[in-house]
Amino acid sequence: MRWSALTVILATSLCVAAPRCPDPELRQATIGGDSITGGVLLHKEPLKFARVRLYSSSGKSGWIGTTDKNGRFIINKMPPGDYRLEVSGWGSATVHLNPEVDKGHGGQIPAWGLLLGDNACVVTMEILN
């Protein structure tokens, strides 16, 4: 439930009509853990059943899947490193998977998520339980 509420709040704040992210730094994200979980918006609606591809830093395809009916996807059990995430109809972003960012939360391990917005920017979500 917390994921849905947070997604709605962030989606509402990101719905601007820019075709490209105005800041190239916002087309990348650093998250912890070993999963890449995200949601994709296009024209203020979830991007349903879009092809998602994940490439390693060497350019080798590491995962291929699709978003669900709510525009969400999850890629589990990935080693730390740099990845290029491509979503058909949305574009691409760089994801840095770094377990070091999980440290320093008083023993809590956060859940991480990405929101790929209408303006082609990436927002990182950190949820502590």
Q: Which domains does the chain have, with CATH numbers?
A: 2-7+29-127 (2.60.40.10)
Question: The whole model's pTM is what?
Answer: 0.78
Instruction: State the pLDDT at residue 18.
Output: 39
The answer to whether the beta carbons of residues 83 and 97 sit under 8 Å apart is yes
Q: How many Cα atoms are found within 13 Å in the side-chain-facing hemisphere of 116?
A: 30
List pLDDT tens digits, range 35-44.
999 999 998 8
Percent of the chain at pLDDT > 70 equals: 83
The whole-number pLDDT of residue 120 equals: 85
Among 23, 109, 95, residue whose Cα is nearest residue 62: 95
Instruction: Express each pLDDT in 74-114 by its tens digit.
Output: 999 999 999 999 999 999 999 999 988 887 667 777 889 99
Nearest to 75 by CA among 46, 48, 49, 54: 54
Specify whether the CB–CB gap between 123 and 115 falls below 8 A.
yes
